[in-house]
Structure 1
């Protein structure tokens, strides 16, 4: 077991964590990134990325994360292969975290970039066809289904928003919902029902995702929740939109969260209620959930962390002088 000290401790290693590390390292903060169970985050399981600025050709998600990691290391970041299992935020700064390895990490500032994961149905074929017709992000992957037939599974705001977004690329969008009414806001429902490109299948669940001869998604097997009858729906793409689960279990009771478990931050900033603790990326963003917005928040966290340390150092320098003046 060992103890590691840094001016900026970063928990999580997706676009937010790596971007925070790059900016912190360039500011001579010698950051440490604890990479967690999935180094690189969600993009490591995303095959084709077409919407990250700077690349006119489609790039691979794992490659992009490797490049971000290499850049962070090149400018002075220490990468740790560990998973944080407990944190102490009450007595900081400095803030303390314990890894699964038993190592202790001490940071003058802390950036939480643990991300969020899409919730999946757990139906057969779902994971096997990920990136081959099955996705959890229409904004990310909808462009690949231009002029094709697609389906969205879900009934909340996210599902309806994804269905409406997909009408920019497809004239045949089917929303599949297990109940006979949607949970989405009425204004979104009205837009959905008015669209000539959308259709809703009520009281249906997806029993399985089936591949065609080419190994990509060919059709869905559906089950009626009322009658129990099964049917098939031929689609080129299926988007699971039943919500996301932010990785915030570690911070329950220690940081403020919303009802869905996303960390609360000061609007327009990555600042949490604890000075010196920042949240960046999908762990605090239930609206956009994009690699580029996560990277932007990581940058903001590093810059705000640098300002926090500078202000703290100024305060500590003034305190001895004030004490000396009072003694005279």
Structure 2
């Protein structure tokens, strides 16, 4: 390991002296396993990465010390990482327009990339990726994205509001980082911890993360595909239609290549299918219109997956993803437009066409809405589906968790653990969740309002202030003050594309399959939550394996050919 180098203090001539650096061998924020992994990762570093930390030296601000120690740990892992400390208000902070403590800047004389707040939780992943990109000095953007940003002539200060538990935030910030490296004189990439700076979050009306402020007036919620991010950064407006027009002019990727198996969806079912496909000798690729992991990545804790007594949803996804990448290519943020069936099966994305001999739908589900007044209006400013993403912003406040199943109770317990006053609202007399979760709810003394539905969500146009309840037995109407509404009332299957090509659906719109995951269409299979059933991670994994094996068997011995010969 590289000998530790304590952070230089730009305001004094002596080395920084604090408790966190007195014992280099014992005091680390990073656990030993993480240090070993990062030491290997940082061997790739090329040019030096200068980390400049600005704090107000306030001992009451715990994030100052955490950020200093975190960055100091990083600098101890590689001789290519140096650390310099500054004081808020000094010459450096004024030159680089630093307003908040703590702030962390990367190679500030070359790029304008910074963290406003401590890079905790999921944000730590973005920190490591940023170190790598800055060291390589290359944006790694697609040619389409580079062409878009080449048209930028005005400066942009892009703020990505995030939280430590948001699995989608690192991807959005990396879009900004890559853009800032591509156009270093014009783009500032700023990852803001929404929980550490509530007033700034309020100023930008942040109620759900990732929340991207491309300007003072143009904001977006959620993770965007890279090209769309760059186009909206350029145009400061919703640019999906424009992006599709531009990408349709691009050359199809890997023109002429025909895969054995194409898998739509990078959740547990899709990832497992890719592993089994490759091990059977099939050349496969996985496409997802969002990010890897499906619903699992937004699950705070998984306690019923064999082999793990308790594991974070994000951690489990990382394990599955690392395993899958050994066998198959995975492509995220693919805007899938259509599927056509001919001699080969074609999947059409924005400007690109992928061809294969067989196709697995592992498209999962999407959150079901309440469909009540105020839900859409306040979505992202108090109404949300993601407890792990947005829970941090409601600490010390009162929220409602709508639903009575496993997801609702798991999320309610997570919110309680964050220090949030949470009440469960359920339309029935009894909860549907497994007994262990119901017992945990009682232990945590989380109240439940039964036989009740929400009729309306209202507020002051910027944030939720309350809801209107209706008791479905008595018909009584009442008002309830709250600061947020978390919704976990089930899922709708993403089966529209399958239905469009003629796949048979069940009455609940799930895809109808046999025990081998075959649909009614030759060469078309379906796996995971999109098929319905108990919708557990372990069953999705099983479905994916079965679907891949069925595809392999059918491609070797096509049953449809023999059926055609009989006719």
TM-score by length of 1: 0.69
1:259 to 489, 494, 507: 507
The yes-or-no answer on 1:278 pairing with 2:525 is: yes
8 Å CA contact 1:10–1:32 kept in 2: the answer is yes
- Shift in alpha-carbon separation, 1:208–1:25, aligned structure 2, 3 A: farther
CA distance in 1 between counterparts of 2:298 and 2:270 reads 17
Moved more, 28-37 or 247-256: 247-256
In structure 2, C-alpha distance between the alignment counterparts of 1:52 and 1:137, rounded to whole Å: 21
Alpha-carbon contact 1:151-1:239 (below 8 Å) kept: no
Distance change in 2, residues 1:57/1:161 (3 Å): closer
* Change beyond 3 A, Cα 1:137–1:22: farther
Cross-structure match for 2:405: 138
- The change in CA–CA distance for 1:135 and 1:106 in structure 2 (over 3 A counts) is farther
Pick from 249, 273, 283 the counterpart of residue 20 of structure 1.
273
Q: 1:128 to 1:246 in 2, by over 3 A?
A: closer
Match of 2:157 in 1: none
CA distance in 1 between partners of 2:281 and 2:504 (Å): 30
Aligned mate of 2:356, from 79, 103, 107: 107
The equivalent of 1:72 in structure 2 is 324
Structure 1 residue 25, shift from structure 2 partner? 1.1
- Map Cα deviations across residues 69-92 of structure 1 (whole Å, 9 max, x no partner): 2211212x1223423211113x35
**Residue 288 of structure 2 corresponds to which residue in structure 1?**
35
1:98 paired residue number: 348
Displacement, 1:37? 2.3
**What 5-or-longer segments of structure 1 have no aligned partner?**
177-198, 210-219, 320-328
CA distance in 1, matches of 2:513, 2:431: 26
Which residue is 2:202 aligned to?
A: none
> How far apart are the structure 2 equivalents of 1:154 and 1:163?
17
1:194 aligned partner: none
Q: Do the aligned partners of 1:12 and 1:36 also contact (CA within 8 Å) in 2?
A: yes
Q: 1:153 to 1:19 in 2, by over 3 A?
A: same
Distance 1:22 1:289, change over 3 A: same
Are the structure 2 counterparts of residues 142 and 72 from structure 1 closer, same or farther at C-alpha, using a change threshold of 3 Å?
same
CA–CA distance in 1 between the matches of 2:385 and 2:454?
Answer: 22
Distance in 2 between the 1:277 and 1:136 partners?
A: 34
Judged with a 3 Å threshold, the aligned counterparts in structure 2 of structure 1 residues 69 and 136 are, in CA distance, closer, same or farther, namely: farther
Per-residue deviation, 1:169:
3.8
In the TM superposition, what is the alpha-carbon distance from 1:35 to its structure 2 partner?
2.0
Kept in 1, the 8 Å contact 2:406–2:432? The answer is no
Instruction: Tell me which structure has the larger Cα radius of gyration.
Output: 2
Specify the SS of the correspondent of 2:330.
Answer: strand
Structure 1 residue 85 and structure 2 residue 334: aligned? no
Q: Check 1:152–1:280 CA distance in 2 against 1; reply closer, same or farther (3 A cut).
A: farther
CA separation in 2, counterparts of 1:206 and 1:80?
39
Given that 1:246 and 1:282 are in contact with CA atoms closer than 8 Å, whether structure 2 keeps it comes out as yes
Q: Which residue, 415, 419, 424 being the options, matches 1:151?
A: 424
Is 1:244 the counterpart of 2:491 in the alignment?
Answer: yes
1 CA distance for matches of 2:434 and 2:468?
A: 21
CA contact (8 A) 2:361 2:498 kept: no
Q: Distance in 1 between matches of 2:346 and 2:534?
A: 30
Distance 1:37 1:167, change over 3 A: closer
CA shift in 2, pair 1:42/1:145, >3 Å:
closer
> What residue number does 2:302 align with?
49
Aligned residue pairs: how many? Answer: 273
Instruction: State how 1:215-254 maps to structure 2 within 5 Å.
Output: 221-225=466-470, 229-231=478-480, 240-241=488-489, 243-253=490-500, 254=502
Select which of 538, 552, 555 maps to 1:292: 538
8 Å CA contact retained: 1:166, 1:173: no
Deviation at 1:173, TM superposition (A): 8.1
State the Cα deviation string for residues 147-197 of structure 1 (Å, max 9, x = none).
x985243459xx853498854444578765xxxxxxxxxxxxxxxxxxxxx
The verdict on how the C-alpha distance between 1:305 and 1:115 changes in structure 2, with shifts beyond 3 A counting, is: same
**Shift in Å at residue 21 of structure 1?**
0.3
**Which residue number corresponds to residue 457 of structure 2?**
207
CA distance in 2, matches of 1:204, 1:98: 40
Change (3 A) 1:163 1:227: farther
Write out aligned runs for 1:173-188 (5 A). Answer: none
RMSD: 3.8
Q: What's the CA shift for 1:229?
A: 3.6
Other structure's SS at 2:270 match: helix
Q: Post-superposition shift, 1:137?
A: 7.7
Equivalent pair of 1:8/1:108 in contact (CA under 8 Å): yes
2:29 corresponding residue in structure 1: none
Say which structure, 1 or 2, has more relative contact order (CA 8 Å, 6+ apart).
Answer: 1
3-state SS of the aligned residue for 2:558? helix
Q: Which residue of 2 aligns with 1:8?
A: 261
Greater strand share, structure number:
1
Contact 1:138 1:165 in 2 (8 A): no
